[in-house]
């Protein structure tokens, strides 16, 4: 009976973490460019009570084994694009593709985001394009973007080239291009909060967007919404709750048998 207690206990622990992941998805249903997560499980060690063998045409064709439960192994992000919502704000940008914006993070390191709800921050160097938290957005050369223009006249092409329309209706290039990067293994990125990702040895080094896979496009005046489907997450939540309850009942049954 002790085996049943530990096995069902592992199931309860795993399902509790599963509920935590699902709850995080639901809480971020309105978070710009949020990517839903899925918890992955693996079975634990097995106790082999009788091993399969064939000797001189005789023996057991199958094993007799009892497992010791399950263990959470990974949270996998679904990087499928969310819907694009029109905002009519020239500083709102959505990425159509697998790319990421590059941002100078709080510790002076480079971080990455899909959240294109950018703002203008007044600095000693001029009006800088930043995230909502005030961190500078970088161009393709890793340089901060200064926009000392009327931002209502700002134009950003699908490949990130920045320009503005002057009082005579002439389009004037700004000489900077918004940087987009990709990763060989984006599932290896580490979520660090505030819609930011950090590169890791598992994700590989960031490379310019056009050098890996299909080229991404930038859509000005749009934001990417979360890809969380509320109904789907609610169904997963019900399944996880039922699995938790059944494991709890297994513990109660094992306890009664122990008495």
Residues 25 and 227 sit within 8 Å (Cβ to Cβ):
no
In the chain, what are the domain boundaries?
2-79+228-258, 84-224
Q: What is the mean pLDDT of the chain?
A: 89
Q: In Å, how far are 40, 97, 113, 179 from 207, measured between CA atoms?
A: 28, 15, 14, 10
Residues 204 and 183 sit within 8 Å (Cβ to Cβ):
yes
CA distance 100 to 98: 7
Supply the pLDDT for residue 40. Answer: 93
CA distance 176 to 166: 17
Look up the pTM and report it: 0.86
Structure confidence by residue, pLDDT tens digits, 177-222: 998 999 999 999 999 998 999 999 999 999 999 888 889 999 999 9
Kindly indicate the confidence band of residue 145, based on its pLDDT and cuts at 50, 70 and 90.
very high
More confidently predicted of 1 and 215 = 215
């Amino acid at each position: 009976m002790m085996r049943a207690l530990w096995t069902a206990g592992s199931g309860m622990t795993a399902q509790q973490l599963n509920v935590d992941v699902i709850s995080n998805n639901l809480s971020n249903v309105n978070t710009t460019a949020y990517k839903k997560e899925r918890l992955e499980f693996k079975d634990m060690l097995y106790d082999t009570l009788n091993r399969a063998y064939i000797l001189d045409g005789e023996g057991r064709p199958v094993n007799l084994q009892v497992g010791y439960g399950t263990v959470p192994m990974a949270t996998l992000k679904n990087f499928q694009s969310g819907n694009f919502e029109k905002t009519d704000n020239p500083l709102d940008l959505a990425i159509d593709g697998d790319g990421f914006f590059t941002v100078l993070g709080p510790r002076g390191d480079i971080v990455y985001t899909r959240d294109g709800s950018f703002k203008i921050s007044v600095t000693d160097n001029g009006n800088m394009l930043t995230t909502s938290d005030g961190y500078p957005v970088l161009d393709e050369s890793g340089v901060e973007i200064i926009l000392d223009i009327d931002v209502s006249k700002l134009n950003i092409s699908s490949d990130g080239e920045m320009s503005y329309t002057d009082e005579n209706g002439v389009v004037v290039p700004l000489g900077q291009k918004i940087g987009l990067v990709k990763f060989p293994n984006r599932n290896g990125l580490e979520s660090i909060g505030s819609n930011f990702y950090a590169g890791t040895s598992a994700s590989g080094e960031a490379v310019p967007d056009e050098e890996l896979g299909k080229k991404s496009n930038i859509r000005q005046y749009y934001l990417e919404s979360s890809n969380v489907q509320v109904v789907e997450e609610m169904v997963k939540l019900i399944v996880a709750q039922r699995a938790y309850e059944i494991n709890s009942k297994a513990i109660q049954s094992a306890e009664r048998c122990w008495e």
